[in-house]
Amino acid sequence: MANNENNKNLPDSEIMKRVLAELRYSALGFSKELGYASHSSIDHILHDRNKISDNLIDKIIKRFPEINYWFLKKGQDPIALNDKLKRNQANLFGKTIAIESPDYSVESFTVLKNIESILLRIEKSLNKKSDH
């Protein structure tokens, strides 16, 4: 059985170089944007000392939902997704992004998705206050 790493189209160093170019980030800037204290994690990938981990992929997708998961995982184009695919991928990773449309105001998926739980919390809070 072949290992998934052997099925990659590009080495991890090239994948990372292309992602940085697509997003117009340096290794240092990208590391900071992802919350790393130093750029060594990204630098090690760029110099073939480390592979792109699933944890790093998760951080990248959550911060940059337009970057294609399959490009990060296997080097499969495209690097960046169109708006519809970006929203779908973000939802799969538990990240919601705003929808911008000239015909509608900007709304958050998070609010729409969680409105029932928000209303239940408000109702419970009101019930507790009325009990006292």
pLDDT tens digit sequence for 13-67: 999 999 999 999 999 999 999 999 899 999 999 999 999 999 999 999 989 999 9
> Which three-class secondary structure state does DSSP give residue 44?
helix
User: What stretch of H or E contains 107?
Assistant: strand 104-107
Q: Could you read off the pLDDT of 57-93 as tens digits, one per residue?
A: 999 998 999 999 999 999 999 999 988 888 888 777 7
Question: Closest Cα to residue 58, out of 47, 72, 48?
Answer: 72
- Which residue ranges form the domains of the chain, and what is each CATH number? 4-94 (1.10.260.40), 98-132 (no CATH)
pLDDT of residue 7: 63
**Type of residue numbered 6:** N
